[in-house]
């Protein structure tokens, strides 16, 4: 049966080797290695890791190294098929048994299993639950069980699947076989439930951080949603993304609106005929349609790794859902964007919806979750801090660098006086009225309610006439979001003043209003932090993407099974021209090299010949070059830099280039720095005699720094800034230079 004996002999080095050879990855993601080694040592495992954390590898890799077959239980047939395709593309031997497996396929799989030829067998919970299946499994050598999406076993989770309950038999029926459970669901209640139901035996526990560093979070008030969506999509042409809407009707309306503007979006919701729904999902998976507009029914069934944005066009019901849905972006680790549009109507609608829930406990939960969601949308602090805080996680940095607040995309203005006016209206009406009525008082509206309540006689009546009602609603929202007022029950949104609010009223603290200028023009530049800002050739990426689509079609798999976006980005950065260099790219293992290497090398070669001006961009310069790398991804070079490069290639000297371009020599030197930083080889003899370079080198050495000023001063007038800067490019490339010989500026 199970073979702990042989398995415990596996050397940890073997796991690293398999990581490189099989998956083509340079390093493990956080926690992967510890989980792999726990599985290899025969322990039960319970791993909670976010979407995109790389859970599949945690069982696929041991499945490859261990004798016998790893049985993977996975909830959805479409997911299983993609997983099997992806595993096979990496050279693993995998198959799936589910309700659509034909009898012929079944017997072929059974034969392969008897021969011990499969590493992985994916089964649906229904299949697992069929009578006799367990006995059949017992006759095989099962290395371990992997339960993917393990939260499906919990009734507290959002994807409860009754058939998962049968999995609690594994521990008793296969006492010697380890069990590894994986989920991205973060709530402690669900986690406990999973562990208990699966009867895990002192499992190795992993709870990864829920931070998704490559996701950029943005929250924007909804004013003209259709226009806002179109503008956003204009900036994200050619990228795959999901737009979530709350209702089926809105899904249809938005998809139709986009199509009428020439954006071929498809719809997805539970009300569509099965065929159409599957077809739409499939065309999205295959990169044939870029934009899918969907209800939250969409997402769990796909592992598509290159979703570059997730837009919530309506306020989600709770943070948990929001996190899961945004989590579908950027699984490949590349930068992706999450935008939430929210408007007042959403709040009213969701509140009504929650308030109508009959069961009291469920109603209270829904309302309080909605309250948390609203706080998230209204906060003026880092979105990442707020999101992780919800899961009890503290984000350590001051500035996350990847949300609209931290990047300063939201503009703030001091609005203490406005806050005082609004709060005073709240105080004078005893916190018994909603934001709309307060705004009416401030703008001197002549409504029935105002007259009835005698509010036109309040001293605050009309004190905010200089601004319109929507401004005052925004102030009221911000007061609530910043905790200066509070609403205890969203069904009765009549804010009252908090202690902090009284401080503002008494002039003891200030209040800032977010103006939220966040235009999506700006948004295009801001990308996530992880590897997201390394430049690559857009042109080559486009060609590689085409090749990927062709290959995927021919093999009948989704494109991301061939190579991830991330892998193609890296190719478009380093322009590999040999099999060895291709193999060194993250995500290219031996099997993929054999299967696709020739084809992709040919694409790179052809591109190189057609674009001789573009050259490889090294990931990290050998020595840190203290100069800017232009942020545009077009090969990392702007037009003006390319113009300098052209003149350089004509053999012109520095003064000649400066003259030809009517630019300062110093500016040209910054171009040269940019070229060097993006891997362009400059020749020092085009600028210096060896002797002159040595003289300058001596000055740098004397001052022990790469900073220009001390060196220029040290030279006593014999060296100017441009020359010092130019020389630095070559000096920093010297092999004989001790890593820490000089300090950086």
| Three-class secondary structure of residue 49 per DSSP | coil
C-alpha 724/C-alpha 626 separation (Å) is: 13
Looking up tokens 């945004």 gives 326
CB of 305 to ligand ADP, least distance (A): 4
Contact 363, 465 (CB under 8 A): no
Contact between 687 and ligand ADP (CB under 6 A)?
no
Which tokens in the block code for residue 166?
Answer: 């049968």
Partner from Mg ion, ligand ADP, none contacting 424, C-beta within 5 to 8 A by type: none
By the rule CB under 6 A, 723 interacts with ligand ADP: no
Piece of 233-241, 327-335, 417-425, 464-472 that binds ligand ADP (CB under 6 A):
327-335
Which is closer to ligand ADP, CB of 52 or CB of 559?
A: 52
- Tell me if 240 contacts ligand ADP by CB under 6 A: no
CB of 241 to ligand ADP, least distance (A): 17
Interface residue with ligand ADP among 305, 318, 494, 543 (CB under 6 A) is 305
Decide: is 303 part of the binding site for ligand ADP (CB under 6 A): yes
Which of the residues 39 through 68 are near Mg ion (CB under 5 A)?
A: 55
Q: How does strand 512-514 pair with strand 204-207?
A: unpaired
Burial of residue 342 (number of CB atoms within 10 Å: 0-12, 13-18, 19+): buried
The first and second tokens of residue 633, run together, are 């991804």
Within 13 Å and on the Cβ side, how many CA atoms surround 445? 18
Beta bridge partners of 514: 412
Locate 740 and state its tokens: 């820490």
Q: What three-state secondary structure class fits 57?
A: helix
Using CB under 6 A as the binding rule, the residues of this chain from 350 to 389 that contact ligand ADP are none
Query: Is residue 222 at the binding interface for ligand ADP, with CB under 6 A as the rule?
Result: no
Q: Are 51 and 42 in contact (CB under 8 A)?
A: no
Closest CA to 306 of 278, 277, 285: 285
Question: Minimum CB separation from ligand ADP for residue 208, in Å?
Answer: 9
276: Cβ contacts below 8 Å, ≥ 6 apart: none
* 537 binding ligand ADP? (CB under 6 A): no
Single residue of 49, 170, 296, 574 touching ligand ADP by CB under 6 A: 49
Task: Report the residue number, 23 or 511, with the smaller CB distance to ligand ADP.
Answer: 23
240-244 β-sheet, strand order = 215-221, 336-342, 307-312, 240-244, 291-294, 266-268
Q: Report if residue 593 touches ligand ADP, rule: CB under 6 A.
A: no
Determine whether 262 is exposed, middle or buried from the number of CB atoms within 10 Å of its CB (0-12, 13-18, 19+): exposed
Least separation in angstroms between CB 29 and Mg ion: 13
Q: Does 75 bind ligand ADP (CB under 6 A)?
A: no
Q: Is 56 one of the binding residues for ligand ADP (CB under 6 A)?
A: yes
Name the binder of 404 from Mg ion, ligand ADP, none, CB < 5-8 A by kind.
Answer: none
Q: Looking at 52-60, 186-194, 312-320, 409-417, which segment touches ligand ADP (CB under 6 A)?
A: 52-60
Assess 532 for contact with ligand ADP (CB under 6 A): no
For ligand ADP, the closer of residues 218 and 564 by Cβ is 564
* Rounded Cα gap, residues 668 and 183, in angstroms: 54
Span from 27-35, 697-705, 721-729, 733-741 in contact with ligand ADP (CB under 6 A) = 27-35
The CA angle 474-480-485, to the nearest 5 degrees, is: 125
Question: How many residues sit close enough to ligand ADP to count as binding (CB under 6 A)?
Answer: 19
- For ligand ADP, which stretch binds (CB under 6 A), given 48-56, 247-255, 443-451, 730-738? 48-56
Stretch that binds ligand ADP, among 23-31, 350-358, 363-371, 710-718 (CB under 6 A): 23-31
Q: Which residue, 96 or 564, has its beta carbon nearer to ligand ADP?
A: 564
The span of 232-240, 328-336, 342-350, 684-692 binding ligand ADP (CB under 6 A) equals 328-336
The helix/strand/coil state of 171 is: helix
**Per CB under 6 A, 323 contacts ligand ADP:** no
Residue 563 touches ligand ADP, criterion: CB under 6 A: no
Alpha carbons 182 and 54: distance in angstroms, whole number:
10
Tell me how far apart the alpha carbons of residues 671 and 643 are, in angstroms, rounded to a whole number. Answer: 9
Q: Taking CB under 6 A as the rule, does residue 29 contact ligand ADP?
A: yes
Cα 56 off chain centre by: 17
332 lies in the binding site for ligand ADP (CB under 6 A)? yes
Q: Is 564 in the site for ligand ADP (CB under 6 A)?
A: yes
**What are the tokens at 734?**
């010297």
Q: Least distance (Å) from ligand ADP to the CB of residue 331?
A: 4
- Pick the closer one to ligand ADP by CB: 193 or 303: 303
Question: By C-beta, is 157 or 493 nearer to ligand ADP?
Answer: 157
| Strand bridging mode 94-97 / 142-147 | unpaired
Do residues 194 and 181 lie in contact, with contact meaning Cβ atoms separated by under 8 Å?
yes
Cβ nearer to ligand ADP, comparing 80 with 406: 80
Which of 455/548 has CB closer to ligand ADP? 548
Longest dimension (CA), the chain: 92
Selected binder of ligand ADP within 52, 91, 178, 532 (CB under 6 A):
52
What distance in Å separates the CA atoms of residue 367 and residue 359, rounded to the nearest whole number?
Answer: 12
Q: Using the rule CB under 6 A, is 62 a contact of ligand ADP?
A: no
The answer to whether 53 contacts ligand ADP (rule: CB under 6 A) is yes
CA dist 205 and 187 (Å) reads 15
**Using CB under 6 A, which of 42, 54, 371, 636 touches ligand ADP?**
54
Note the Cα 126 to chain centre separation in Å. 32
The region of 46-54, 70-78, 104-112, 404-412 touching ligand ADP under the rule CB under 6 A is 46-54
Secondary structure, 3-state, 639-685: HHHHHHHHHHHCCCCHHHHHHHHCCCHHHHHHHHHHHHHCCCCCCHH
| Interacting residue ranges for ligand ADP, rule: CB under 6 A | 25, 28-29, 32, 49, 51-57, 303, 305, 331-333, 564, 586
| Interacting residue ranges for Mg ion, rule: CB under 5 A | 55
């Amino acid at each position: 049966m199970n073979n702990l004996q042989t398995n415990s002999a596996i050397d940890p080095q073997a796991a690293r080797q398999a990581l490189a050879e099989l998956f083509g990855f340079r390093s493990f993601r956080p926690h992967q290695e510890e989980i792999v080694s726990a599985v290899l040592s025969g322990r039960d495992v319970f791993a909670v890791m976010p979407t995109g954390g790389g859970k599949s590898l945690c069982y696929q890799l041991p499945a490859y190294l261990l004798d016998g077959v790893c049985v993977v239980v996975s909830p959805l047939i479409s997911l299983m098929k993609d997983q099997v395709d992806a595993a096979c593309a990496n050279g693993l031997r995998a198959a799936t048994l589910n309700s659509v497996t034909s009898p012929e396929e079944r017997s072929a799989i059974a034969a392969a299993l008897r021969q011990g030829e499969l590493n992985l067998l994916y089964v649906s919970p229904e299949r697992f639950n069929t009578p006799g299946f367990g006995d059949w499994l017992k006759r095989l050598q099962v290395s371990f069980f992997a339960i993917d999406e393990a939260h499906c076993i919990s009734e507290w989770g959002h994807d409860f699947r009754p058939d998962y309950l049968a999995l609690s038999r594994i521990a008793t029926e296969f006492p010697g076989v380890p069990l590894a459970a994986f989920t991205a669901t973060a709530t402690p209640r669900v986690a406990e439930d999973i562990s208990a139901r699966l009867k895990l035996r002192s499992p190795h526990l992993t709870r990864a951080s829920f931070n998704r560093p490559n996701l950029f979070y943005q929250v924007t008030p909804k004013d003209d949603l259709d226009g806002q969506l179109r503008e956003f999509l204009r900036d994200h042409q050619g990228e795959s993304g999901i737009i979530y809407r709350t209702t089926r009707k809105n899904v249809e309306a938005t998809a139709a609106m986009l199509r009428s503007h020439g954006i071929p979006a498809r719809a997805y919701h539970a009300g569509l005929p099965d065929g159409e729904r599957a077809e739409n999902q499939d065309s999205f998976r295959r990169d044939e349609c870029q934009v899918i507009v969907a209800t939250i029914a969409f997402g769990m069934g796909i592992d598509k790794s290159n979703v570059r944005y997730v837009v919530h066009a309506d306020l989600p019901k709770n943070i948990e859902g929001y996190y899961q849905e945004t989590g579908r972006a950027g699984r490949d680790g590349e930068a992706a964007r999450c935008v939430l549009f929210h408007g007042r109507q959403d709040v009213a609608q969701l509140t009504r919806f929650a308030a109508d829930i009959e069961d009291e406990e469920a109603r209270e939960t829904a309302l309080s979750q909605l309250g948390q969601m609203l706080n998230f949308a209204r906060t003026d602090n880092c979105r990442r801090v707020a999101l992780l805080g919800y899961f009890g996680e503290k984000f350590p940095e001051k500035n996350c660098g990847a949300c609209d607040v931290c990047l300063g995309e939201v503009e703030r203005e001091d609005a203490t006086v406005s806050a005082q006016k609004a709060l005073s209206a709240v105080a004078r009406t005893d916190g018994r009225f909603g934001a709309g009525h307060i705004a009416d008082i401030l703008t001197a509206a002549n409504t029935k309610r105002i007259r009835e309540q005698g509010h036109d006689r309040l001293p605050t009546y009309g004190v905010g006439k200089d601004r319109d009602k929507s401004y005052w609603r925004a102030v009221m929202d911000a007061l609530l979001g910043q905790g200066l007022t509070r609403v205890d029950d969203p069904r009765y949104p009549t804010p009252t003043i908090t202690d902090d609010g009284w401080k503002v009223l008494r002039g003891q603290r200030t209040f800032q209003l977010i103006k939220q200028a966040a235009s999506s023009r700006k948004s295009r530049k801001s990308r996530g932090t992880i590897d997201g800002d390394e430049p690559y050739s857009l042109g080559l990426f486009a060609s590689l993407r085409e090749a990927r689509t062709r290959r995927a079609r021919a093999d009948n798999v989704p494109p991301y099974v061939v190579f991830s976006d991330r892998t193609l980005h890296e190719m478009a950065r380093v322009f590999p021209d040999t099999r060895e260099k291709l193999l060194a790219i993250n995500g290219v293992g031996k099997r993929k090299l054999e299967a696709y290497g020739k084809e992709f090398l040919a694409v790179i070669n052809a591109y190189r010949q057609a674009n001789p001006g573009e050259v490889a961009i090294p990931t990290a310069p050998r020595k840190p070059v203290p100069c800017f790398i232009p942020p545009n991804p077009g090969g990392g070079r702007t037009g003006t830099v390319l113009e300098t490069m052209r003149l350089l290639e004509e053999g012109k000297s520095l003064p000649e280039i400066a003259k030809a371009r009517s630019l300062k020599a110093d500016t040209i030197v910054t171009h040269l720095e940019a070229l060097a930083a993006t891997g362009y080889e400059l020749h020092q003899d085009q600028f210096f005699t060896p002797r002159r370079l040595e003289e300058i080198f001596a000055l740098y050495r004397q001052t022990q720094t790469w900073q220009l000023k001390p060196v220029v001063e040290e030279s006593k007038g014999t060296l100017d800034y441009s020359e010092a800067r130019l020389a630095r490019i070559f000096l920093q490339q010297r092999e004989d230079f001790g890593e820490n010989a000089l300090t950086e500026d």
